Structure 1
Amino acid sequence: MQPELRLGRVPQAALRTSALEAFVAAVARNSDAVAQDPNVLDIAAAVFEAFASRRSSGGLSRQDLLDACAGVCDERSFDSRFELFKKLKLLIPGVAKAHEDRYLFNPYGAAGILVFDRVSSTGGVDELLALLDRTRLAISRGTATAEQVSAALTWARGMLVVAADYLLMLVRTRSLEMMIAERHQHQHPSLMTDVKAVTELVRLKYTEMDPLAYTVILEAQRYLDARTQFVDRILEEGARAEDFGVLHHEQYLAVARDGSAELLSKALERFVFDPVDLPLSTATIALEVDQLRPPAPKAPQPPRPDNARTRDDPFRALVEREDRRVSIASDEAEVLLGAESMVDISDEMSARGWPGAARLLVSMVRATGPGRPFALEFGDSLRVDPTGQVTYLSPVRLKRTPHAAVETVDE
């Protein structure tokens, strides 16, 4: 067997920097607006954590922030970012006194860190999914205007066109290393489901936008076709190079669990095994055959009488109805979870209004319980929406649990 050839990897730091540069280009003052060292985002996150981990309305000192960044950067790098943070008002004076070394963190900066971290790690398709989700909720609640829905659909269609063109360019002109580095930014199994959910609402409530909604579906299909070409090239070149790093380990594990024997055997076609050598005698084989002989059949029990009481058993009917309800509830829980291990269903409950929210909660309670692979978690906070049908609601999270054996009821 030939030695495995490992492909080089494009540093993830360079990919993050490139993503940040493109993200701020629309508001940048010049071409070097983004620092080339992606570690600067970690410094900002460490400064934010210093404020988030303690309550100090009077602010924190420079030394407090330096200590918080000790594991991220040296003092020289910290001073450079510290001065920049003050100039850009990420850090603002904690008291209105001259020469007072106390600072507070600007909440707009906290939002910026979240956005930059998400964009640099997951790419622009995640933002498209967020746009579709916001649009769906707004239409369901009746708070979206026709102009807002039209603008959202137009923007979604444009993002899909750009994303598909970019993937096809990677397939035609970029190295396998670059494609592997960007593969995690194009893993969105629910994309077409989310697109169809929004377009179906648009067709029901804004019939004049049906042609626009149809073009969004067409561009989503084009993007998925481009993603298929993208993955096919990675797998094809990775197989030629015998590089097992082209897929995530979860994907290999899924194939090992669900793949057929014929498919799994191909991985061992070039391996050489010693021949099977089992020293068996005739007496040993006869003894094993005797032990495997099935026992004599037991006498059949007399059939139960076929009377009206057994045919119309109310308890059995009750159990069967509950089993059907649990099965329907479990299917709905699977749809809500998708590929995730935990989801917050609070927004879905709010979107269904009343009594839809109550029906969804009852269904999810029915899907949980001993021996079932789902559980519910309820938060302590309270969400209030005076304009919605569900005026107040505590957070509800649905999660998967290890599947346990289901207890059965004896007949």
Structure 2
Amino acid sequence: MPDPFGLADARPQVDRHAAQSDLFNSHHEQLAVSERQGTWKAFAAPLTSQSGAIVENPDLVEMAVAIIGVFSEHHSEHGLTFAQIREGLRSHGVSLAPAAIETRLGHLHAEGFLEPYLPKLHQGRYVIRPAGLVGALAALRVAEHGGIDEMVLLLDRTRAALEMPHPDPRHVLNHLHTCRFTLTVFAKDLQRCIATGTSAELITLGRQHDHSGYTQQVVDLNALISSRFADVYELEEAGAALIEAEQYYRTQVRAAIGKVLAHGGASLNFDVLTPREYEDAAIDSSPDRLAEVGTHLIADAPEVVIDINAMIKVLDDYRPRPKHRFRPSEPPRGTEDPDPIAAIERAAAERCRRRRLGLEALLGGRTEADLTSAMQTSWPAAIRILTDAMALDADRSEPFVLTIDQTLLIDSKAPVTYLHPAQLIRTDFALPETGAMTEQEQPDRTGGDV
């Protein structure tokens, strides 16, 4: 079968660093399972004769990549057994069931991915066929980048064909046509996604099409064509068509990014950039550039969620508040209108009278009295005597003076274990106002309530 694009003559250069990066790249987990399955089906469509042969579980494809890692870390010179492969898969974190792993290993062996080390039956040691390795890596690369890497590879192959000592014009022309066709297909797909895709899909596409040096590579390629085939009109026309295709492709990429930015700014969606891109911006950008981000942010209050049933219940129970305030009705008057201020004053006078009677009982008609022995009877008595004496001493209308000595008396066996000696003095030398007290008014000298 003829090769219209000359692809059979080209030998793509495999970048070891890129392959290793794709092998252990963790960003593939961000792709949806259905999207990856659809990508693989489209990828395998030119190679299959019937449908239904695409694996449904992406973990099984990743298992093939993990097998590559197992072989790369093992130092056996004669291949690995299935038992050694299973043990290596567990160390790589493959969490599939043992039965699923065993079935998958049998399938990979039957399909030629795992090839016997020796052409003998039941020898039980296997190595990976290079074509299987490339297929596993290509499956992950295509699922992650959507085939964008192939455009870069095509440009590299075209440059390699032009830089040969004696380049074949027909071979170079086939490469240029292939590059142009590829760019046009990607541009048309981007145009469709811009019209029908969501912001999340456009974000993924924008990251897949992030090849900032692609335009410069096309320009450099045209410069090589002009220098090597200046008089070949067909090649120059193909180079100019490649530039037009690249411009059309770049226009669609910018349109996709513009739609993402417009939707992301309108919805305050901070998923437009990856966390690493935000981190790089915070480290590399100046404070003025970072301040520009906040100038266009609008912080609005969240929308109020209204429950219809609750609103109907509130309306049923609602009673409008009257506009005018009405004075409440006065309480009925009794025979005597109580005066609360007068009641407080009478209570204070009664407390003062009872304090005075208690201290006068301790004086016993004398002008001075030692309160120490009375306070030693109990803690309640000591507190009551000191409180009454200090209250009357602070009242200028009362003729009582309290003096407290700094000496501290300590007796561990007494009811009051420690206290300061206190003395009460009466300064007016007057007898009690009411004369002799009744039995009910006599203070309790043992520390009880008065």
**1:82 and 2:111 are equivalent in the alignment:** no
Are residues 45 and 255 of structure 1, via their aligned partners in 2, closer, same or farther at CA, if it must alter by over 3 Å?
Answer: closer
Please name the residue that 1:263 is paired with: 292
Give the aligned residue type for 2:62: D
Which residues in structure 2 correspond to 1:67-106 (within 5 Å)? 67-70=87-90, 71-72=93-94, 73-106=96-129
Deviation string 1:271-312 (CA, Å, 9 cap, x unpaired) is 99xxxxxxxxxxxxxxxxxxxxxxxxxxxxxxxxxxxxxxxx
Instruction: Determine helix, strand or coil for the equivalent of 2:158.
Output: helix
SS in 1 for 2:41: helix
Report the Cα distance in structure 1 between the residues aligned to 2:54 and 2:167, rounded to whole angstroms: 35
| Alignment of structure 1 residues 187-226 onto 2, 5 Å | 187-207=210-230, 208=232, 209-226=235-252
Residue 21 (str. 1) matches residue 41 (str. 2):
yes
CA distance in 2, matches of 1:126, 1:74: 34
Quote the residue 1:301 is aligned against. none
Q: Secondary structure at the match of 2:270?
A: coil
CA distance in 1 between partners of 2:140 and 2:297 (Å): 41
Distance in 1, Cα, partners of 2:290 & 2:227: 47
1:244 aligned partner: 270
Change (3 A) 1:69 1:214: same
In structure 2, C-alpha distance between the alignment counterparts of 1:271 and 1:255, rounded to whole Å: 25
Q: Distance in 2 between matches of 1:10 and 1:45?
A: 17
TM-score, length of structure 2 as denominator length: 0.55
Matched, 1:233 2:253: no
Q: Distance in 1 between matches of 2:126 and 2:31?
A: 35
TM-score (normalised: structure 1): 0.60
Which structure would you say has the larger Rg?
2
2:58 aligned with 1:35, yes or no? no
Q: 1:107 to 1:262 in 2, by over 3 A?
A: closer
Which stretch shifts more, 261-270 or 47-56?
261-270
Greater Cα shift, 168-177 or 66-75: 66-75
More deviation in 59-68 or 261-270?
A: 261-270
Contact 1:135 1:144 in 2 (8 A): no
Q: Distance in 2 between matches of 1:237 and 1:253?
A: 22
CA distance in 2, matches of 1:255, 1:98: 60
CA contact (8 A) 1:91 1:104 kept: yes
Report % sequence identity. Answer: 24
| Residue 202 of structure 2 is aligned to residue 173 of structure 1 | no
**Alpha carbons 2:65, 2:137 under 8 Å: kept:** no
Q: Partner letter of residue 249 of structure 1?
A: P
* Residue in 2 that maps onto 1:135: 158
* Equivalent residue, structure 2, for 1:363: none
Q: Secondary structure at the match of 2:271?
A: coil
Give secondary structure in 2 for the equivalent of 1:245: helix
Q: Which runs of 5+ in 1 are unaligned?
A: 1-8, 273-411
Aligned residues: 264
Task: Report the RMSD for the aligned CA atoms in angstroms.
Answer: 2.4
Aligned to 2:174: 151
Consecutive unaligned residues in structure 2, runs of 5 or more? 1-28, 302-450
Separation in 1 of the partners of 2:42 and 2:281? Answer: 36
Map 1:257-296; keep pairs closer than 5 Å: 257=285, 260=289, 263-267=292-296, 270=299
